[in-house]
Structure 1
Amino acid sequence: MDLILWRHAETENDSDDLARRLTDKGQQQAKLSAQWLQQHLPDNYQVYCSEAVRTQQTASYLKQPVSIHKLLNPDSHPLTLATFLQQQPPATTQVWIGHQPWIGQFCAYLLNGSWLPQQFWSVKKSAFWWFDVRFYQQRHQARLKVALLPSVLK
């Protein structure tokens, strides 16, 4: 399967974490990332995002139906996501829009093949990492295909 992990774009500061919205800059970031993705994604891909408003706003730039999953919320744990990933159909392309630190932790998990809490990579706002993920006897093998920042796409 192809799995794209896309961090939400820049947001306003607000005390209600799930209600935070994209700034004007964040809207531009999301638009740039979405334009690149739309040019490279197959016709039949699925989009998942967290319950946070900022991920839903980021997802809206893909102009596709979106499934909202609590598993992708800011407090998600990479091992829970690994279980969710194993349950997905293997011949699909999925875009998961979420948050740091779990996106960076999950990127490290996919490429390292195991979970180490202290290992994660910084994923900048509205950046995405595109993986080819295969499963062999309940173990995964992931290959990074693309990692892009919106600032590179200008």
Structure 2
Amino acid sequence: MDLLLWRHAEAIEGMPDLARELTERGRKQARAVAQWLHAHQPKRLRVLSSPAVRTRQTAKAFTDNFEVANGLGPDGNVADLLAATGWPDAGGSVLVVGHQPALGHLASLLLAGTEADWTIKKGALWWFTNRVRDGETQTVLRAVIPADFA
């Protein structure tokens, strides 16, 4: 299974939190990463987004075909992310467009085996895959694409 974690691009400040939109810079970040994704995306990619406007706008830069999952909102956690994606046992590939700190906590769990306060920068994409070697499931970090490098 492939699991791609994409933090929403830069958004305006303010309230209500779920209504915050991307800034012009954020729209450029989202388009840049979306362009990279179009060139490199895995097959059978399912796209999930938080209900927040900024995450839906980020996802929309890549595709109109995405699902909104309420558990992926700003208050979501690692358990919510794992439940929504089916990691590591679901087939195919899942792209989650979401928020800190849950995305960073999941990245640290996948790579270090424990939740820690890791930061995924705004607009960045982290791509994980899993494999089985000698009967042991392993997590592999395939790519980290910062928004300003895409």
TM value normalised by structure 1: 0.87
Q: 1:140 to 1:67 in 2, by over 3 A?
A: farther
Gaps of 5+ in 1: none
Is 2:139 the partner of 1:142? yes
TM value normalised by structure 2: 0.89
* C-alpha displacement of 1:135: 7.7
8 Å CA contact 2:72, 2:80 repeated in 1: no
Q: Where does residue 126 of structure 1 map in the other structure?
A: 123
For residues 140 and 106 of structure 1, what CA distance do their matches in structure 2 show? 17
Dislocated runs of 4+, deviation >4 Å: none
For residues 70 and 19 of structure 2, what CA distance do their matches in structure 1 show? 14
* C-alpha displacement of 1:46: 1.0
* C-alpha displacement of 1:58: 0.3
Q: 1:151 to 1:16 in 2, by over 3 A?
A: same
- Aligned letter for 1:146? A
Q: 1:135 to 1:84 in 2, by over 3 A?
A: farther
- Aligned letter for 2:94? Q
Q: 1:42 to 1:120 in 2, by over 3 A?
A: same
Q: What is the alpha-carbon root mean square deviation over aligned residues?
A: 2.1
Is 2:51 the partner of 1:54? no
* C-alpha displacement of 1:113: 2.5
Local SS of the residue matching 1:151: coil
Map 1:32-47 → 2, pairs under 5 A = 32-47=32-47
* C-alpha displacement of 1:75: 0.7
8 Å CA contact 2:6, 2:97 repeated in 1: yes
For residues 5 and 140 of structure 1, what CA distance do their matches in structure 2 show? 20
Gaps of 5+ in 2: none
